[in-house]
A and B are shown apart, each in its own frame.
Chain A
Amino acid sequence: MPIQIIVEKCTGCTLCVKACPFDAIRIMDKSGDSGLASSSQSHKKAVIDLNICNLCGACVPVCKLKAILLEKSVGVASSAKADLKDYKGVWVFCEQKKGAVQSVSYELLGKAGDLAAKLNTRVSAVLLGHKMNEQANELVWHGADNVYLVEAAELANYQDEPYTNVLVKLIQKYKPEIVLCGATSIGRSLISRVAVKINAGLTADCTGLDIDPKEKLLLQTRPAFGGNIMATIITPNHRPQMATVRHKVMLPAELNKQRKGKIIREEFGLAGLTSRTKLIEIVDEIETLVNLAEADIIVSGGRGMAGPENFKLLEELAHALGAAVGSSRAAVDAGWMPYSHQVGQTGRTVAPKIYFACGISGQIQHLVGMQSSKIIVAINKDPEAPIFKVATYGIVADLFQVIPAVTKRFKQLLQK
């Protein structure tokens, strides 16, 4: 059995029950069992339900009596382990749309620089597209030592299959030890496919990345259960170690136009560029405002906005700040805002520098989508609204008076 309780040591203290994030441990009365007859011992013992247990090991360190044994599986045979040393370098898959490199790529280059320094290795960017020469130079200026550039008309826009094929071939040829990618709709779709094809470990939506000083493994920390718990994950026996990272979590690399790097052009035959799916059209919905995922500031409204016409107040504030407009599920379900603006469990997860929650009560489903924001400003007339429990600045007032006043004040400030 991969995990077991040493019954003789267990006192049924329930510490492990509390530590288990999967609710897989129960305390049971084992007094009926033979062999545990000694009356001086407690009959209450922890029992792990192996149907539910995920072998995460959270219970092991909390047990003061060292009564839980977890076998750390060796996984891949040791012969394969020698091959791990062949993998070198930190890669960033740099996403471009219509030729524009997405900001998350620069954030990842910044982080890749830190990781590469700790590993004493180099940072490489991977760029796929059509006529991307200038953009490749930009990546060098943002910290890439090498840029693997693959240009073809078929790669102009993202498509799952050709992008997967090219990235798989590059990884197999150059063997990077780490591959990072933005947790965007493209990144999450692409990298999950790549990881399966090359048998690599992949951790989604990391908010923290570091290098274990002893084993030199990538430590990938990510929220789970809507941010209620954090898990640190490693990939001990497979290479590369792959992770996606959310927008706005890492600091972007600084621009230095003096930086020098190598641009390595790779070519692939047509066979690798074919796609069974066909991209017919890219439709950009008319938005005068900023994209939610990339926004530094988001102004969101909920049921307290009382009607679709009142979102104009939020748009005015957003316009003054260069911010995006978000919405709670309640406002989307009422038909006041399109779904693409919804923040929360069934919408988007965002982490801007400043999040304004206007007339949003703060149900848990909304909180999990925005509670990693640096500053939360809550405006609500109900002092009991749960949003105030997470707000950096809380304002109990009529939002129809406060928001225009705030907009006006910001305009005055920004004009100076």
Chain B
Amino acid sequence: MNIIVCIKQVPETTEVKINPQDNTLIREGVKSIINPFDMYAIEEGVRIKEKLGAKTTVITMGPPQAEAALREAIALGIDEGILISDRAFAGSDTWATSYTLACAMKKIGQFDIILCGKQASDGDTAQVGPGISAHLDIPQVAYVKKIEELKDGFARVERMTEEGFEIIETPLPVLLTVVKEINEPRLPSLKGMMRSKQAKIVHWTAKDIQADESCIGLEGSPTRVVKIFTPAPRTGGQMLTGEPQEIAEKLVELLKSEMTG
């Protein structure tokens, strides 16, 4: 079985701070991490490999620095890493990004399961996973919280919904986006860390994956960002004090209009 895990390197949100003077993001010294949701995809890939035997590949599109994220995934148990990096990808929106990743999948050729985190913590779109499966014209199941059964050419999974979950059966290959409930990611092992240091990361450019120039980067992106601004940060409001009874009375009085209106 061949498993591909798609990951994204993102800034660590806990570190993102706002400069109170001019309301801009302070990004200096902010650490880059693997998108938290992708950690569950990596873990699930490694678990399938341990259980059924599989070749696992981790792939990312990003700047050369994103190689660090691939090495981290290898330290966690993934076999190989591929970095898709090219200046021609600059300005890609989710359409162009999913196209680019789909081109790389085609070049890899063999895959039974593609695993993605449900969304990235910086963009929060949840569009790239389903976009890849649409470009490849393979089935998808988004928001998977459990793989119940997996064998050659077949999987049964649980997909999280607002009310509970759905049980879905799918042929392979399939693309799954996973939620946090699916597993608990492990920490890298010493052996894994040693291996990741020596691992050779494959680099592919737009030409290597035979991407159509008109479909990548800014040119291939239907959407354009026209304005970026910082919303006025929420400021602390009114403090309510007194005995519990008094506080309850004050609070209910303040919320009354919202309840009825």
Q: Which A residues are closer than 8 A to B by beta carbons?
A: 2, 18-23, 49-58, 72-73, 75, 97, 160-161, 164, 184-186, 188-189, 192-197, 199-205, 219, 223-238, 275-285, 287, 291-294, 321, 339-340, 342, 345-347, 349, 353-354, 363-365, 368, 371, 374-377, 388-398, 401-402, 405-406, 408-410, 413-414
Contact = CB atoms under 8 A, between A and B. Distances in A.
Contacts of B225: 54, 56-58, 231-233
Interface string B209-234: 00000000011011111111111001
Given A204-B126, A406-B252, A278 B63 contact: no
Interface stretch (B22-30, B74-82, B105-113, B193-201): B22-30
A113 to B, nearest CB: 21
17 contacts: A2-B91, A51-B64, A57-B225, A184-B162, A192-B98, A228-B230, A278-B169, A279-B168, A281-B167, A282-B161, A393-B237, A395-B241, A395-B247, A396-B239, A406-B248, A406-B252, A409-B252
Given A283-B164, A291-B162, A18 B24 contact: yes
B163 A189 contact: no
- Chain B contact patch, size range: 35 or more
Given A196-B135, A234-B224, A368-B13, A283 B28 contact: no
A285 B163 contact: yes
Contacts of A160: 130, 139-142
A126 to B, nearest CB: 19
Contact of B139 (A22, A161, A340): A161
A300 to B, nearest CB: 16
A193 B141 CA distance: 11
Interface stretch (B41-49, B50-58, B117-125): B117-125
A365 B143 CA distance: 20
A277 B226 contact: no
A203 B124 CA distance: 11
Nearest to A102: B162
A210 to B, nearest CB: 12
A21 B228 CA distance: 8
A413 B126 contact: no
A18 B127 CA distance: 29
B256 interface: yes
Contact of B143 (A185, A200, A225, A408): A185
Interface in B60-84: 63-65
A391 B94 contact: no
B190 interface: no
B152 interface: no
A11 B139 CA distance: 53
Contacts of A293: 162
A221 to B, nearest CB: 8
Nearest to A22: B27
Given A277-B168, A280-B156, A395-B239, A189 B162 contact: no
A19 B218 CA distance: 20
Contacts of B140: 160, 189, 193, 277
Contacts of A282: 161, 164, 166
Contacts of A294: 162
Given A53-B90, A226-B13, A391-B237, A202 B127 contact: yes
B215 to A, nearest CB: 9
B125 A204 contact: yes
A284 B134 contact: no
Given A54-B225, A224-B123, A405-B247, A188 B142 contact: yes
Given A203-B223, A339-B181, A193 B134 contact: yes
Contacts of A75: 219, 222
A-B pairs, top 8 by smallest CB distance, nearest first, are A201-B222, A23-B27, A51-B63, A196-B134, A405-B248, A192-B130, A204-B125, A55-B91
Interface in B6-30: 11, 13-14, 16, 18-19, 22, 24-25, 27-28, 30
Contacts of A406: 247-248, 251-252
